[in-house]
Structures are given as structure tokens and as C-alpha cells.
Amino acid sequence: MTNLQGRDMRSGAPIRRQVVAYAIAALTTTSLMSTTAYAQSVDLSQWSPDYIKSIAGTETFDTAGHCADVVPLDYTGRLTYWWTGPTEASPQIEHQINDEFWAAWAKTYPNIETDAQNIDYNQLLDRLRTTLLGNAGPMVVRLQILGGVEFASKGYFQELAPEDIGYPTADFWPGAMKSVTWDGVTYGVPTNNETMAMIWNADIFERAGLDPESPPATWDDVVTYSKTIHDKLGISGYGLVARQNAGNTPFRFMPQLWAYGGGALDEAEASPSYQDSYLDNDGAKAALQAAYDMYVRDKSVPTSALTNTQNENQSPFIAGQLAMMIAHPSEYAKMVDLAGQATGADKEVADTVVANMRYGLIPEGPARRAVVFGGSNMHFINEEYVEGGFDEMAAKAFACFWNSPEWSTKLAWTGSNPGNLAGFKTEWMKERLDTIKFLDVTTSMLPSGIPFPVIPEATEIMNIIVPDMLQNALTERMTVDEAAADAAAKVDALLGGGL
């Protein structure tokens, strides 16, 4: 890769020679891009914990050198950027990497004046909506995977594909690319992707007479295991979450719904059209019935599930009062942290729980094994909505740098995975696998990931209608069939432009 910074240009060199040289360089670059860079870096068909381990640390990448091909390193410009970065609750290493990133960015592109705002996860969307109304948005924004489509459909985003910043589309998860595509046009680059996994307490499994080293293989097994644990030990089996208007609920219920063959729409299909609701098909009803059986019939899940988010499951889990739950890769670090804070007899219990924590694949159902494909995407705002105008070169330089195999991996250190699949081949991915427990398991769920429907109505469907359906059935306000039909009717009305 060529670093233009500091290049000594000979004065008086014939212009014709320069033109020829640039033409050859351009052709060479294009040729390289088409033969090597555009080839997929990893083989998704082989994806497994062993494959992930086998490719980690096998290649090195020159981030600055690569980005110099996209935007010269001596480019002078201005950048404004909004994202959700490390918070007070984040592990120290996240803060450290964040600091390292900004230092590296400033060193690589010293002439790009950067104004970056780290905005709280729950405030970013609302703040962006408000500022875009006043044409005062940032140039570049990173949003949660479901957040971008609303703005793309409203015309706020520029067309943006990985190729625009020097990376092949083939090097990003197909599901992730689906999440940045609206109406056939690509409006962003996936920065990081993750899926959840099933976590269980092997000690509780053993005491309940279950195989301590095997998670429930199917969702029907989850119902059975949960009942067995509750009946034998008097504690909650599965950590059901069904709070209204909380993102935790669809992230935990949709895998079950998809596994039985249901869906909000047809998002689980290979080529979804997002036209009709699947919430009242047989698969969706079977999933809802399974939740009903655990909550109402067996009472084997927390009674507080209707007001709980996943945060409220952490305390009973670390106290040995909850046997299994769906959670992020970072849940292990959280439990270690909680155990570190415990004292006396609680400390003993917490340490036992941490020692007995196991990660496994999310159960499968009659139709498939599925998990929500999570992550974040980077977008460019259209110039007319950007305060102070849009600096295309600065934005591209930044997007190239952030989404490089190096920083795509480092910036997702504890909570996610690199959006750029080439990141899985870096030495930093190897270091993550060596130091973060269960990372290989959670990462191996990625091919089973299904993104939420990429339509502007998705937020309402997932955060309101799906939890409503669960609550209507679990409180017996409606029967399972009625709740499913009610939810499907609401989705149809919403897609038809109703209230």
C-alpha cells in the first residue's frame, strides 16, 4: 500500500510522465482490487468454532497504507461523527481501545479536524431525528443495526457501499448488508456484528438431574428443562423476558419464534419481501404457546418476566436462582464483575455460579436454529442535513479507518465482532479468542443470525407489537390464537398506513 504522506515530489518533472505514472498506478490498484481485495476473505460455509480459531492471526493488515489508497493521508478537512461508545459501565479495556483509536486516527490523518460525540444508546436515535429536522446533523453516524432504515427511507442518508471506502461487500455478513439496504440501495457499512447464545448454570442442571454439560437442544427442551428445574429445585428455569417497549424482549423471543417457523414478517426467508405478517402462522403460535406453557402453565420462569428486562435476570442468575438465559457474549465478563462485588456467603454462591457458567448454541426448533443478528452500521448523512456541509473525503477516510480489519476488530473487543470479516484473520482476533471465554461459541452463532425486518416500521413491530402479543397471551387477556391474530392485524394495519 502507498503512503502519500511525506512523499517528495520532484519539481520540474515532466507532466506527461506524471500522468502516465498515475494512470499505471490507478490501473494497478484497480487490478489488485478486482483480483484480491474483492475476493471474500473468509469461507462462511465452513463457519464453526474450530474454523474461527484456525483463521485467527493468519494475516496482517496495514490500515494506514490501505486507507491512503482511498484518501491521501495528508488530506486536510473536517469531520463530525456521532456514535455510541464506551460508557461508565463499560470494561476498562473498551475505554483504553477507544483512546487508542482516536490517537491512531489523529496520527494517521493529522489534518482532518474531528468533532466526535459519544452519545448514549437510548438517546442517539431521538437526538439524530431532532437535529436532522433542523439540518444540523453530523456527517457520519453509527447506529444500531435496526436504527438506520428509518433515516434511509426518509432520504437522510447518502448511498454508501463498502466499495466506496475500499472494502468488498463480500467481506461483510450477508445479513449485515441486508440491514443497510433499503429499496435495493445500500446506505451504509456494517461496523460490527454479534449474536447471543444460551447461557446455563451447570451446577443447577446437575442438581435437577439434567446433563450439566449440554444445553437444551430444542425449544421444546427448554420448556421441559425449565419445568424440571422449577419442580425439583423451586427456582426459575428459563429467564423469560417479556417487558413492553424494551429491545431485550424481541432479541430473546424472536429466535424462538423463528425456530418454530414464525416471524414478524418473512424476514427469516432467504429473500424477504416484508409484505405479510407471519405472527399468526402455526410456527408463531407454537412459539407463543411454548412461552405461555412456561409462564402460565408451569410457572417455571420468573413471575416478574412481564416487567423484567435482561438486566433483572442478572441478579437471580448470579445468586443461583435462575438456571438459563439468552445473553450477549459479554455476559460472562458481567458475571465475573458481579461476583467480584459480592461479599460473604453471597460471594461463595456467586463464585460457584461463575465456575459453572456454560455457553452453548441457542436451541433449534422444527424450522431452524435462529438468533437475532445484532450489531451497528455506519452511515453518511446527506449534505443538506449536515451542519456546516459534508466533507466527502474526510468521511471516507474515517469510514475506511474505522472499518479496517484492525479497528473493526479492536473496537468490538468485548461486546461484539468485526463487521469486516477480514478482521477474523487478524492477530487481534486471535488475542480475543485467547482471552475472552466462550467467544468462539457466541461467534459461531453468527451464520444463524437473522436481521430484523429492514423496513421503517420494524422498530414498532419489534419493540411494541411483539412484546404486546406476548403480554396479551401471558396475562391471559387473550388466548394464544387471539393474541397472535391481534398482533398480525396490527402489523398489517401498520404496513397499510394505519395507526
Partner 1 sequence: MSTITGQAAGPSAARAVQKKPNIVSRIIKHRADYLYVLPALIVMLVVIAFPIYYTIELSFFRTPPNLQMKDKIWTGLSNYSLVLNSSVFHEVTIQTIIWTLASTVFSFLLGLGAALSLHREFVGRGVLRALLLIPYVISAVAASYVWKWLYHSDFGVIGAISVALGFTDEPINFLDNRQTVLASLIVVNIWKEFSFAMVMLMAGLQTVPDQLHRAAMVDGANTWDRFWHVTFPHLKGVSMVTILLLMVANFNSFIIPFVMTGGGPADASHIWITHIYQLAFGRQQWGAASAYAVILFVVMMTLGYFYVKALTRGDETRQGA
Kindly list the residues in this chain that would bind partner 1 in the complex (CB under 8 A): 126, 133, 150, 153-156, 236, 243-246, 302-307, 315-316, 321, 456-457, 459-460, 463-464, 468, 471-472, 474-475, 477, 497-499
Nearest approach, Cβ of 101 to partner 1 (angstroms)? 32
Nearest approach, Cβ of 109 to partner 1 (angstroms)? 33
Nearest approach, Cβ of 331 to partner 1 (angstroms)? 20
Of 165 and 254, nearer to partner 1 (C-beta) is 254
CA distance 425 to 250: 32
Residue appearing with cell numbers 478537512? 77
Task: Determine contact, residues 384/161, Cβ cutoff 8 Å.
Answer: no
| Residue 118 CA, distance from chain mean position | 18
Of 36 and 245, nearer to partner 1 (C-beta) is 245
Nearest approach, Cβ of 167 to partner 1 (angstroms)? 29
Nearest approach, Cβ of 346 to partner 1 (angstroms)? 13
Rounded to 5°, the CA angle 326-483-222 comes to: 30
Return the half-sphere exposure (C-beta side, CA atoms, 13 A cut-off) of residue 424.
30
* The one-letter amino acid at 374: G
Nearest approach, Cβ of 493 to partner 1 (angstroms)? 10
CA distance 444 to 23: 44
Nearest approach, Cβ of 148 to partner 1 (angstroms)? 13
Of 84 and 408, nearer to partner 1 (C-beta) is 84
In 282-426, where does DSSP find H-type helix? 282-292, 311-318, 331-341, 344-355, 392-402, 405-410
Integer angstrom CA distances of residue 284 from 16, 60, 257, 469: 68, 46, 5, 11
Of 150 and 298, nearer to partner 1 (C-beta) is 150
Of 55 and 478, nearer to partner 1 (C-beta) is 478
Of 47 and 274, nearer to partner 1 (C-beta) is 274
Nearest approach, Cβ of 234 to partner 1 (angstroms)? 10
Nearest approach, Cβ of 231 to partner 1 (angstroms)? 14
Of 246 and 367, nearer to partner 1 (C-beta) is 246
Of 280 and 457, nearer to partner 1 (C-beta) is 457
Burial 67-106 (b: 16+ CB within 10 A, else e): bbbbbbbebebbbbbbbbbbeeebbeebeebbeebeebbe
Nearest approach, Cβ of 264 to partner 1 (angstroms)? 15
Nearest approach, Cβ of 290 to partner 1 (angstroms)? 19
Please name the residues in contact with 381: beta carbons below 8 A apart, sequence gap of 6 or more.
132, 137, 138, 139, 140, 141, 156, 157, 158, 390
Of 306 and 339, nearer to partner 1 (C-beta) is 306
Cell of 149: 432504515
Of 153 and 356, nearer to partner 1 (C-beta) is 153
- The bridge status of strand 322-327 relative to strand 197-201 is antiparallel
Of 36 and 315, nearer to partner 1 (C-beta) is 315
Nearest approach, Cβ of 383 to partner 1 (angstroms)? 15
Return the half-sphere exposure (C-beta side, CA atoms, 13 A cut-off) of residue 416.
27
Task: Determine contact, residues 405/423, Cβ cutoff 8 Å.
Answer: yes
* The one-letter amino acid at 394: A
Of 51 and 274, nearer to partner 1 (C-beta) is 274
CA distance 436 to 445: 16
219-233 and 282-292 helices cross at what angle (nearest 10)? Answer: 10
Integer angstrom CA distances of residue 62 from 197, 323, 400: 33, 45, 12
Of 374, 370, 375, which Cα lies nearest the Cα of 257?
Answer: 370
DSSP bridge partners of 253 = none
CA distance 352 to 357: 9
Element (H, E) at 80: strand 77-83
Of 450 and 462, nearer to partner 1 (C-beta) is 462
Nearest approach, Cβ of 276 to partner 1 (angstroms)? 18
